[in-house]
Structure 1
Amino acid sequence: MNSDDSPDHINDSRPPEHASGAQSRRGFLQRSGTGMAALLMAGASGPALAAAATPGAPNSVKLPLIQDPNTEPAENTPDPNAEPDRRVGYAIVGLGRLSLNQILPALSASKYSRVVALVSGDAEKAKKIGRQYGVRESAIYTYQTYEKLADNPEVQVVYIVLPNGMHAEYTIRAAAIGKHVLCEKPMAVSSAECQRMIEACKKANRLLMIAYRSQYEPMDRMIAKWVKEKQLGPLHEFIAGNSQNVGDPTQWRLKLALAGGGPLPDVGIYCLNAARFLSGEEPFEVFATTYKPDDDPRFKEVEQSVQFLLRFPSGLTATCMASYASHESRFFRLQGAQGWAEMNPAFGYNGLQLRKGQLVEGKNAQIQIGIDPVDQFAREIDHMSLCVVRGQTPHTPGEEGLQDQRIVEAIYESARTRRAVKIAVPAGPTRGPDPDEENF
C-alpha cells in the first residue's frame, strides 16, 4: 500500500467485475448464433445438430456481433447517439486501479453513460485524470466535500469503488444527498451493513445496484439460458475455483476491517454468486473449511484459502474454492444429466472461454463457443443508466448482495464450528428484471 492510505492509493487488483446491458434496438450490436451456436441456443438436436458437430472433438463456434438497423428503439431508452450531456452522469468515488484501468475507460466506451465528477483523496491526481476525461475542475471533490455532490445536477449516479469496509458509509451518504448508487462487490462486510444500505436507498427513493459483472456477461447469460431451457437436464454438480497469489502483505485486502475477510469475499464470491445465478436456485446449507498459516505475514488477519460445499433443494451441490496463495486460476463447470457447460478461464475482464458438452446422435460432442469481445464494464454501467431512466429495479439490486453476504457469513460460521450451517431462504426476490436481452 502507498504510504498515503487514502482509497485512491490502494491498488485494486480484484478479479473481474462489471458488465453492462440494456440498450435500445436501433443501431445496436446484437448477438446472433451461427453454425453450432445457433443450433445450441435454439435447442436443436438430431441430424441438424449432428451435421454441425464432430462427436468427441471440440468444435470452435463464433457468435458474431451483428447490427440490426431496422428495429425500433425500446420505450424509455435513451438514444445511444445522443450528445454526451444528455447521457446519465456518474461520479466515480475512489481512483484506484480498477477505476483507472477499467471503469473510466468503460464510461468512455458506453452508450448511455458518462463521467461527470470524481471523488478522491488526492486533488492533483484527480485533476490530472479529470483533464483526461473532460471532467470540470469544479466537479472534483474530496471525501470531506462528498456531500457537495448534492449541488451538482449532472451527477445522477455515484459509483462506489472503495475498499469493502467503506461501501456502506459512502452508499448511505450518497442516498442521503439524493443520488442513485452503483456499488462494487462484495456489497459490504456484514449483512447488517447491507441491510442499512438497502434501507437508506429505499428511504431516499434511490436505486441501488451491486456490480455483479458476470451476471451481465454474454457467455454467463447464455449458460443461464441453457439451464432455464433444460438443455443440460437436471443439474447435479457445480465446481468452481478462483485463486491468485497476492504479494504485498500491507495491502488493504489483507486487512480484516477493510476487506471483511480474505479470498472469500474478494474472489470466492464469484464462485458463490455463479452457483446461485447460473442454477437459478438458492442454497439451503453449507459446509466449509478455511486455512490460515502461522508463518506467513500476509495472513495475520484473514484466511489464506477457503473451501465450501453448498447444497441446493434440487439436489445440486456446488463445490468451490478460493485462495490468495495459489497461482492464478479461474474456472467453473456446471454438470447436468444431459450435458455440461464449462468456462475456463472464467470470471475475467476478457479472454473468457466457453465449452459445452452433450450427446449428439448418441455420442459425446464438445463444442467451443466464442463471442466477440465486449467491454463488460460498459455493459454493466449502461444497464444501471437504463434503470435510472426507466425507474426500473436493477437486475442485481442490494438484495442480491445481501444474500451473498449472508451466505459468506454462514461459510465462515461453518469453518469456525466445523459443522454444516443452514442458510435462510431469502424473504423475496433477490434480482430485478433481466437486462435487455437483445444485447446478449
Structure 2
Amino acid sequence: MNSRRSFIQKVALTAASIPLLRFQSLAAPPASDEPVLRVALMGLGGYANRVADAMKSCKKAKLTGAISGTPAKLTDWQQRFGIPEKNCYNYQTFDQIKNNPDIDVVYITTPNALHHSQVLRVAAAGKHVICEKPMAINAKEGQEMVDACKKAGVHLLVGYRMHFEPKTLEVIGMRNSGEFGKIMFFQGQCGFRIGDPTQWRLNKELAGGGSMMDIGIYAINGARYMVGEEPIWVTAQEVKTDPVKFKPGVDETIQFQFGFPSGAVASCLSTYNMNYLDRFYLNGEKGFAELQPSTGYGPIRGRTNKGELTAPHVTHQTIQMEEMADIILRGKQPLIPVNGEEGVKDLKIIDAIYAAVKSGRKEPLKLV
C-alpha cells in the first residue's frame, strides 16, 4: 500500500486520478462570480430521472429545462424539479431554445437512433450538447454530429460517466505510474437478461442493434481506457438462442477480441441473455486490477495485487455533471476524454465488430 500512497502524494497537484481530492473539490461550490451550467434534459425516461435526481447535489450545474413528447411528464417535472413552464418544450418546438438564455446545454437521453437528428438541431440552436452513449448508430452519423457541433461552435460531450468514477481513475493512475508493468491482457464482461420484448432496446429501428448498442459499449470503451491504447484489429462471434425475442439485426450475445499496438489483447462479452456480468480485469507483467461491479451505478468495487481499492462512492451522474460543467464553462481537460471524437472511436469499433461477425475475419481498426 505504501507505493500507492506515494503515487497519490506525487501527482496530487496535477491529476484527476486522485479520488479523495476530487471529492473535496466537488463539495465546494464555485466562486460566486463563476457561472453555473444550465441544463435541459431531453427524453424524460428512467435515466433522465436518475440524472435529474443526481443533479440536486451539484454545485456547478443546475437543471433548468426539460424536453419531452409527453405533456404529463413535462407537468410532472415542472412540479418535482421547479422547472419554469417557459423552459419546457416538446420535440416539435425545442428549436426555440435558441432564444432561451436559461439553457446552456441539452442532455439527450432518447433512444439511440434519435441522437443524430436531435444533436444537429440542438447545435443549430447554438446550444452545447451532452449525448448519451452510444452517440449514434454508426460512425458516419457520429462524425456528422461532431462536424455540426464544431461548425456551430458548441461542445459535444458524451455521457461517459465511468470516465470520472473514482476507483476507475485510481486503477488508471496506477497503470500510468507503471505499477502494473507492461499491460498484457484485458477482459470485459458486460450483460444482463433483458425483460420486456416490446421495449425500444429490442427494436433495431430505434436502438440500431441489440446488446452491443447498450451494454456492450461499456466493454469497448473500458478496454480502451483500461489498457491505455487504441485497438488495431477486432474479431467477433455472435450467438443467438432466441430468434423470436432477438429479431434480425438485434444481437443477443457477441464475443469480441481486440489487439493493441503493444501486443496486449482483450477478450470481451456483450449479452442480453446472462445476468451477473459486470467485470473488468486488467493484467500486467507486475500486477493486476479487477473491478466487479465495474460499470453499474455503484458502488463500484475493486482490488489490485496491492489490495482493495478504497475511494469512496459518490453518485456517478453527480460527478459527471460537475466535471462536464468544468469542461464546458472553464475549459478543463479530463483525464479520459468525453468529447464527440471519443464517441466516434467507439462507433468505429462497433461498426467493425458487426462487420467481423458477418465476415468471420479479423477486421482492421484505424482510430488514430
TM-score (norm 1): 0.77
Task: Give the letter for the 1:126 counterpart.
Answer: L
Q: Relative to structure 1, is the Cα distance of residues 392 and 338 closer, same or farther in structure 2, using a 3 angstrom cutoff? A: closer
Point out the structure with the larger helix share: 2
Aligned to 1:230: 178
Using the aligned pairs only, state the percent identity.
33
How many angstroms does 1:291 deviate by? 1.7
Structure 1 residues 138-170: Cα deviation after superposition (integer angstroms, max 9, x where no partner): 211100111111111010011001101011111
Match of 1:116 among 30, 39, 64: 64
Q: Tell me, yes or no, if structure 1 residue 341 matches structure 2 residue 303.
A: no
CA distance, structure 2, for counterparts of residue 380 and residue 111 of structure 1: 12
SS of the residue corresponding to residue 172 of structure 1 reads: helix
SS of the residue corresponding to residue 327 of structure 1 reads: coil
Equivalent runs, 1:117-196 vs 2, <5 Å = 117-196=65-144
CA distance, structure 2, for counterparts of residue 65 and residue 229 of structure 1: 18
Task: Give the letter for the 2:355 counterpart.
Answer: E
CA distance, structure 1, for counterparts of residue 36 and residue 63 of structure 2: 9
Note if contact 2:289-2:302 (Cα within 8 Å) is conserved in structure 1.
yes
Match of 1:241 among 180, 189, 197: 189
Unmatched segments (≥5 aa) in structure 1:
1-35, 45-62, 359-366, 427-440
Match of 2:317 among 377, 385, 391: 377
Q: Tell me, yes or no, if structure 1 residue 284 matches structure 2 residue 232.
A: yes
Note if contact 2:87-2:102 (Cα within 8 Å) is conserved in structure 1.
no
CA distance, structure 1, for counterparts of residue 110 and residue 53 of structure 2: 18
Aligned to 2:15: none
CA distance, structure 1, for counterparts of residue 254 and residue 352 of structure 2: 13
Note if contact 1:93-1:119 (Cα within 8 Å) is conserved in structure 2.
yes
CA distance, structure 1, for counterparts of residue 75 and residue 180 of structure 2: 52
CA distance, structure 2, for counterparts of residue 289 and residue 93 of structure 1: 35
Task: Give the letter for the 1:373 counterpart.
Answer: H
Equivalent runs, 1:288-327 vs 2, <5 Å = 288-293=236-241, 295-327=243-275
> For this pair of structures, how many residues does the alignment match?
355
Structure 1 residues 334-367: Cα deviation after superposition (integer angstroms, max 9, x where no partner): 0001000000111011121110015xxxxxxxx1
Note if contact 1:292-1:302 (Cα within 8 Å) is conserved in structure 2.
no
Runs of 4 or more off by more than 4 Å in structure 1? 63-68, 391-394
Aligned to 1:103: 51
Match of 1:203 among 131, 139, 151: 151
Unmatched segments (≥5 aa) in structure 2:
9-18
Equivalent runs, 1:206-225 vs 2, <5 Å = 206-225=154-173
Task: Give the letter for the 2:283 counterpart.
Answer: Q
TM-score (norm 2): 0.91
Aligned to 2:16: none
Q: Tell me, yes or no, if structure 1 residue 387 matches structure 2 residue 335.
A: no
Note if contact 1:215-1:221 (Cα within 8 Å) is conserved in structure 2.
yes
Higher relative contact order (CA 8 A, sep 6+): 1
Aligned to 1:29: none
Note if contact 2:113-2:206 (Cα within 8 Å) is conserved in structure 1.
yes
SS of the residue corresponding to residue 275 of structure 1 reads: helix
Larger Rg: 1
Equivalent runs, 1:4-83 vs 2, <5 Å = 36=1, 39-43=3-7, 79-80=29-30, 82=32
Task: Give the letter for the 2:323 counterpart.
Answer: H
Q: Relative to structure 1, is the Cα distance of residues 295 and 275 closer, same or farther in structure 2, using a 3 angstrom cutoff? A: closer
CA distance, structure 1, for counterparts of residue 209 and residue 183 of structure 2: 30
SS of the residue corresponding to residue 410 of structure 1 reads: helix
Note if contact 1:106-1:377 (Cα within 8 Å) is conserved in structure 2.
yes
Q: CA RMSD in A?
A: 2.2
